Structure 1
């Protein structure tokens, strides 16, 4: 699969180096534009609608997160390029597919491109399709601790679990249960069943997913019509479950 890409970087020398690396080592990438500022970057991304944006974190008059906030509906994947590794967590939380440190390592650049190619190929195959469950049966029960004791529920009745600080909201067909346990607790408790973490806030029953939608982070639609966001860091793991 061929990807179109935009490079947003304020340093001309850095743009030239990355552009040359892409031309020489990443034949699946066609660079269709470059920008030196956030304003230029927003304009050219809107015009070209690329598959991939290589985005420097620190730029004059703002940073990469300011640019992303101005493009909430675009479906490109983002590869952050920076000399400051303390941005890693923010990068993932802002839907970055990959994170490259300066000076750029060619092997890491190739890995980043291969990662995005794999995601885009799978996304295009699944986008908008009605997905068939067919995962391992989720017959079984789980014990839910509560203040006055505990409650036992059928695992198959769970649509998804949502984090709320140190609490978890468990969504069933017609009600939800709030439990004073973290989402990590339920991720481990349900590990033998077909559940997948799609976001820092969501643990979803795979058999309840009927549709995947492309986007900056993507989203899934459940059998009850609920749409949940997918984070970039969890997208590859989710897509791997579907053929």
Structure 2
């Protein structure tokens, strides 16, 4: 039996999720329903849950602020939120789980099953990465917190020259000929990095426009970036790339 609590400022949302859990996730015991971050912190200290359903947007103390206040996170989290593109981008990149309101039953069951199979040690870096990225993403990301095994790598976004797909991994090419290989897909980096500065020029390449030194025209053409590398531009991506380049 998984011990859980629900933290949401909306009474209807709390009660509704609790009823869904009782009906469709009988192996989860709901220990407390909390109306906000302050009450949630008290319940976490009291009940020591294994799983917390946490609303992102709450008055007084948001879900992310509550996590920062707690510091050490020794439980799994499923975020619950109305559509918030900034929060969802950060949550996805950190490989954590979330549910959109109103909660879909199938999504709820899948998320609960998923977190029950996880090991906490692999998620701790993800939580800290999320908090670091959320603190700045609503303006424009300047430093990217990249979770890697049991550490977090803080990377200056402006120094990323381009990202290159390698199956389910991504190689980040950084200024001064440095490289960093991360177990995240290129799509995940495309989601989290500033869309005003990074452009997908090929199915396997995401380039930082500020590091493009020259564009050589052709059927698709290719770019020369600041580290001297030549990167192909696909025909399908050519038009959107040129439009973005013209705005620099």
Structure 1: tracts of 5 or more residues without a match? 127-159, 168-179, 202-243
Distance in 2 between residues matched to 1:107 and 1:32, nearest whole Å: 22
More helix by share: 2
Give the counterpart of 1:197 among 173, 183, 186.
183
Q: Which residue of 1 aligns with 2:78?
A: 79
Match of 1:165 in 2: 157
Shift of the 97–162 alpha-carbon distance from structure 1 to 2, 3 Å rule, reads closer
Query: What is the match of residue 88 of structure 1?
Result: 88
Task: Tell me the secondary structure at the aligned position of residue 62 of structure 1.
Answer: coil
> Residue 183 and residue 47 in structure 1: after superposition, are their counterparts in 2 closer, same or farther (change >3 A)?
farther
* Alignment partners' CA distance in 2, 1:8 and 1:188: 35
User: After the TM superposition, which residues 153-232 of structure 1 pair with which residues of structure 2 at under 5 Å, given as runs?
Assistant: 163-165=155-157, 167=159, 181-182=161-162, 184=164, 187-188=169-170, 197=183
Contact 2:49 2:75 in 1 (8 A): yes
Q: Which residue of 1 aligns with 2:98?
A: 99
What per-residue deviation string (whole Å, max 9, x for no partner) do you get for residues 208-233 of structure 1?
xxxxxxxxxxxxxxxxxxxxxxxxxx
Partner of 1:43: helix, strand, or coil? Answer: helix
TM-score (norm 2): 0.51
Q: In the alignment, which residue of structure 2 is the partner of 1:114?
A: 113
Alpha-carbon distance between aligned partners in 2 of 1:91 and 1:59, rounded to the nearest angstrom:
17
The two structures have a TM-score, normalised by structure 1, of 0.52
- Equivalence for 1:13: 12
Specify whether residues 66 and 198 from structure 1 end up closer, same or farther in structure 2 by C-alpha distance, changes over 3 A only: same
The offset of 1:56, in angstroms, is 0.9
Shift of 1:164: 4.1
Tell me the CA shift for residue 83 of structure 1.
Answer: 1.5
Question: Kindly tell me: are residues 112 and 161 of structure 1, through their superposed partners in 2, closer, same or farther at Cα, counting changes over 3 Å?
Answer: closer
State the Cα deviation string for residues 18-41 of structure 1 (Å, max 9, x = none): 001001101221111121011101
Structure 1's consecutive aligned runs of 4 or more residues displaced over 3 angstroms after TM superposition are: 160-164, 180-190, 198-201
How far apart, CA to CA, are the structure 1 residues paired with 2:40 and 2:74? 15
Structure 1: distance between partners of 2:105 and 2:24:
8
1:165 offset after TM fit, Å? 2.8
Report how many aligned residue pairs link the two structures.
148
Q: CA deviation at 1:92?
A: 3.9
Shift of 1:60: 1.9
Structure 1 Cα separation of the partners of residues 25 and 11 of structure 2 = 20
CA gap 1:96/1:185 in 2 versus in 1, 3 angstroms = closer
SS at match of 1:22: helix
> Could you tell me how far apart the structure 2 residues matched to 1:96 and 1:161 are?
15
Superposition RMSD on alpha carbons, in Å? Answer: 3.4
User: Once the 2 structures are TM-superposed, how far is the Cα of residue 163 of structure 1 from its aligned partner?
Assistant: 4.2
Residue 79 of structure 1 contacts residue 96 of structure 1 at CA under 8 Å; is this kept in 2?
no
Query: Unmatched 5+ residue regions in structure 2?
Result: 123-151, 173-180, 190-248
Structure showing greater relative contact order (alpha-carbon pairs closer than 8 Å, 6 or more residues apart) = 1
